[in-house]
Chain A
Amino acid sequence: TQLLEQSPQFLSIQEGENLTVYCNSSSVFSSLQWYRQEPGEGPVLLVTVVTGGEVKKLKRLTFQFGDARKDSSLHITAAQPGDTGLYLCAGRPTGGTSYGKLTFGQGTILTVHP
């Protein structure tokens, strides 16, 4: 079983601050995704990273995939109240009969105060 450990579990910050969320595993993933979920809704994809060392930017969000494809980070610059939500990382295995199976981390609840 491939496990993804997310940290921190909770993050409460003031508007304008920077933050980083981490997603770690002892397993190698073929790809890793970050989703954001708001109350009462299903998660929505933010980004997919597939290459070790890959960095992707989405406005104020920067995503990095570790060189060994075992970990990832999400960095938000100058957080805004609209960034509040549950952030989830999810990975797919490199092969085998369950290639394509998507495993999620425990999530990070981010609250940005005005």
Chain B
Amino acid sequence: GAGVSQSPSNKVTEKGKDVELRCDPISGHTALYWYRQSLGQGLEFLIYFQGNSAPDKSGLPSDRFSAERTGGSVSTLTIQRTQQEDSAVYLCASARGQGGTEAFFGQGTRLTVV
């Protein structure tokens, strides 16, 4: 597709289970971002990938969170041993480069931990 695609769109999981969230960025975009958003709030930075450089993981809230980007394209955000406070919308974005370029967002994955 032409835009950023995220799957699943909704995920309900039990506390303690692991979840994987997927992001397909726009083809050719070298930058990829993951953010977390609580209802009506701003975007909390999680991780940033740029080309083949080491990712900026400074926003990951704990070691239960990890992300990878295979082949410079698809990215997976993994949350292990989910907690109720992990419930939020997880947004992925991609951008063509590093400068003042537009970030294109997916529609997000709404994660609910019960």
Contacts and interface: CB of A to CB of B under 8 A. Distances in A.
Pairing of A with B:
yes
Interface of A: 1, 6, 30-31, 33, 40-45, 48, 50, 86, 88, 90, 92, 97-107, 109
B99 A104 contact: no
Nearest to A107: B42
Interface string B26-60: 00000101010000111111001010011010100
B102 A42 contact: no
24 contacts: A30-B99, A31-B99, A33-B100, A33-B102, A40-B107, A42-B93, A42-B105, A42-B107, A45-B103, A90-B103, A92-B99, A100-B48, A100-B50, A100-B98, A100-B99, A101-B45, A102-B45, A102-B95, A104-B42, A104-B45, A106-B41, A106-B42, A107-B40, A109-B40
B102 A104 contact: no
Contact of A100 (B97, B102, B104, B107): B97
Contacts, number: 77
Interface residues of B, number: 31
Contacts of B43: 43, 88, 90, 104, 107
B25 interface: no
Nearest to A86: B40
A43 B98 contact: no
Interface of B: 4, 31, 33, 35, 40-45, 48, 50, 53-54, 56, 58, 91, 93, 95, 97-108
A42 B99 contact: no
Given A88-B42, A97-B56, A104-B44, 19 more contacts: A6-B42, A31-B99, A40-B107, A41-B105, A42-B93, A42-B104, A42-B107, A43-B43, A43-B91, A43-B103, A48-B100, A50-B100, A100-B31, A101-B45, A102-B33, A102-B95, A104-B35, A107-B42, A107-B43
